[in-house]
Structure 1
Amino acid sequence: MSEILASLYPWTKSLHVLSVISWMAGLFYLPRLFVHHVEQAGRDSHIHETFSMMERKLFRLIMNPAMIATWVFGLMLVFTPGIVDWSLVWPWTKAAGVLAMTWFHHWLGYRRKELAAGTNTRSGRAFRMMNEVPTLLVIIIVFSVIVKF
């Protein structure tokens, strides 16, 4: 199995990067949709339904598959011989960042359901602030992998 993973390494790494890009795009965009949903939809049911549909499709059709693919290809990289040295700090900081990113993904999923149900209690400002979370996490992840401290 190790030999197969080693021979697939360039493909696995490429697919991992593509998956991460797709996942990050959704993680950056969905909170912005929430801001506009909260601030513009108000009592207009047509706008509310449009935002709910956009949020649902982004989450289910792009973000969920991208997150799953990121995890699958990432774990394939972890199990590829010679790629990860667990005696260093960087794999642990990257893992913590990825776990936090996954938590944030699910947090957004719960907020999406609240918005769709009309039970949201958060302001546009709160969603603007939460929109910075993936930026901070991706900084931790990228520096962990590139600098390998």
Structure 2
Amino acid sequence: MLWVKAFHIISLVCWFAGIFYLPRLFVYHAACEDTPGKERFKVMERKLYRGITTPSMIATVGFGLWLLSYNWAGYFSQGWLHAKLVLVVLLIVYHFYCGHLVSVFQDDRNTRSHVFYRWFNELPVFILLAVVILAVVKPF
């Protein structure tokens, strides 16, 4: 079980690295004005999303389900887990919206400014804080 937990945490760290960096690339891409720079950002965003962030999300969810399988009834009787799972679902939605934005930038259809993406980039920080506190402190 400890190996599964270790790999869950490792994949979570990798997922969040991508979730934090991808919107930062959107900030720079939205502010970029030259064609070679925009094309470079398209490659970086696609590779980060498909090559690191999405596989890490899949691994995180897989290892998380594996951990839950050790004691379904026990875990699901605890309120903190319900709250954590709601936040994980919100993060998955955020992840797929980032994938949508990768496509938007890929097709040169972005209409939002770099300021929007600066704010958008901050959302997963709050989810991470709440998930870690729920998992470690188990307040309810």
Shared fold (TM-score greater than 0.5)? yes
Structure 1 vs Structure 2 CA RMSD: 1.3
State the Cα deviation string for residues 114-137 of structure 1 (Å, max 9, x = none).
Answer: 011110111111111011111010
| 2:2 is the alignment partner of 1:10 | yes
Q: Percentage identity across aligned positions?
A: 37
Q: Which structure has the larger Rg?
A: 1
Give the residue type in structure 2 aligned to 1:55. E
Superposition deviation, residue 48 in structure 1: 0.9
Residue 81 of structure 1 deviates from its aligned partner by 2.5
Deviation at 1:84, TM superposition (A): 4.7
Q: Once the 2 structures are TM-superposed, how far is the Cα of residue 64 of structure 1 from its aligned partner?
A: 0.7
- 1:129 has 2:119 as partner: yes
What are structure 1's unaligned runs of at least 5 residues? 1-8
Using the alignment, how far apart are the partners of 1:92 and 1:129 within structure 2?
27
* One-letter amino acid of the structure 2 residue matched with residue 60 of structure 1: R
CA distance in 2, matches of 1:71, 1:85: 16
Cα deviation per residue 1:75-128 (whole Å; 9 max; x = unaligned)? Answer: 000111379532221001110110011000001000111011110111111111
Find 2:35's aligned residue among 35, 40, 45. 45
* Residue aligning to 2:25: 33
Query: Which one-letter code corresponds to 1:139 in the other structure?
Result: L
Match of 1:88 among 78, 90, 100: 78
Does residue 74 of structure 1 match 2:64? Answer: yes
One-letter amino acid of the counterpart of residue 38, structure 1: A
Count of aligned positions: 139
Query: Match for 1:50: what amino acid?
Result: R
Runs of 4+ in 1 over 3 A off after TM superposition: none
- TM-score, normalised with respect to structure 2: 0.95
The residue type paired with residue 63 of structure 1 is T
